[in-house]
Amino acid sequence: MTAPIPAPPGFTPDEWETFERDGILILDDVLSPGETAALRDAVDARTPRARQGDIVALDSRFVPLIDHPQHVGRMFDVYGDMLKLLSSELFRREPGQANRNNWHFDGPRLLPFGSFSDRAPLRVKVGYWLTALPRKEMGNLIYVPGSHRWDHLPQYHTHEPHPQEKHLTVGPGAMTLMWGGLWHRVDVNRSRTTRRNVFLEYGPSWLVATDRTHTDPQWAAGLSRERRIILRAYDDPNQGVKPPAEDVPLYLDRLGQDAPDPVGTRYVDHVPLELRRRTTWVERRGKA
Ligand SMILES: [Fe+2]
């Protein structure tokens, strides 16, 4: 059995501060040009599909995204040993596309995730932008910074402009992290290019996936240890709540240690490692 490895780098304190305040973190030039082109080809291979889910199971070119080092450490900072990939999807927003999302936030509206957590998001959506979006009206993401803490938006379910809205303009290879609950919509695409991007959404393993009912455990067993765990392809649904011993810890801490951190709940020696709580980076930050 493969041994756990140290967690890849996570949030800097400044990045987390921005993310917590705005509900969105935008980082440029995260993917190399080669990586961006390869992902764009993989997205185009699904043409004419404008949107498709569970892409990591569909095309092996998307598999490295499950634990891409540019985001997985940050997701581990939020969800720790229970990190799960909740969905992976691609988008192709063609010029003149009439069907575009109006104001909404991702996740349940009747009893939103925000009802349960103020300190940390219950879902985070990672976006990789594969085509240049230098100006408005290119199928851009439009969002209201800081609105992840708002229960209500008067413009909900319309395309009425909001006075504080921002239009995402980025180069190919940029990454965004979006806090579950951020109000957003999609711009018209009056350009001549198709907007292509992929989204990967993460949360704790006790949340349901939204792009699949089940991942085939046999297929997942052929992936690396970290990818297999993050997909949470469990036959026993209770393992989403109580992961099997071999899946804990997901990563060692960044110093290569697997002991519970001193800020976490203390246990006596007879409690096995997989039942011991390790606080997440976000939790430790809150207690600092
Ligand atoms: Fe959305």
Cα-to-centroid distance, 182 and ligand 1 (Å): 9
Cα-to-centroid distance, 202 and ligand 1 (Å): 14
Q: pLDDT exceeding 90 applies to what percent of the chain?
A: 84
Cα-to-centroid distance, 57 and ligand 1 (Å): 22
Cα-to-centroid distance, 106 and ligand 1 (Å): 5
210 closest CA partner among 73, 72, 118, 113? 113
Give the model's pLDDT for residue 265. Answer: 59
Residue 257 binned pLDDT confidence (cut-offs 50, 70, 90): low
Cα-to-centroid distance, 105 and ligand 1 (Å): 6
Q: Which stretch of 143-152, 159-168, 200-209, 260-269 has the lowest confidence by average pLDDT?
A: 260-269
pLDDT at 131 > cutoff 90: yes
Give the model's pLDDT for residue 274. Answer: 82
Q: Which stretch of 149-158, 203-212, 243-252, 270-279 has the lowest confidence by average pLDDT?
A: 270-279
Read off the tokens for 149: 């803490």
Domain regions of the chain by residue span: 13-287
Residue 255 binned pLDDT confidence (cut-offs 50, 70, 90): confident
CATH number of 13-287: 2.60.120.620
Quick: pLDDT tens for 52-110.
Answer: 999 999 999 999 999 999 999 999 999 999 999 999 999 999 999 878 899 999 999 99
Cα-to-centroid distance, 168 and ligand 1 (Å): 14
Longest dimension (CA), the chain: 64
Cα-to-centroid distance, 235 and ligand 1 (Å): 29
Cα-to-centroid distance, 236 and ligand 1 (Å): 30
Residue with tokens 């996740």: 107
pLDDT at 270 > cutoff 90: no
Q: Side chain identity at 49, as an amino acid letter?
A: R
**Dihedral angle over CA of 204, 235, 106, 53, nearest 10:** 130
Cα-to-centroid distance, 22 and ligand 1 (Å): 16
Give the model's pLDDT for residue 262. Answer: 54
Residue 258 binned pLDDT confidence (cut-offs 50, 70, 90): low
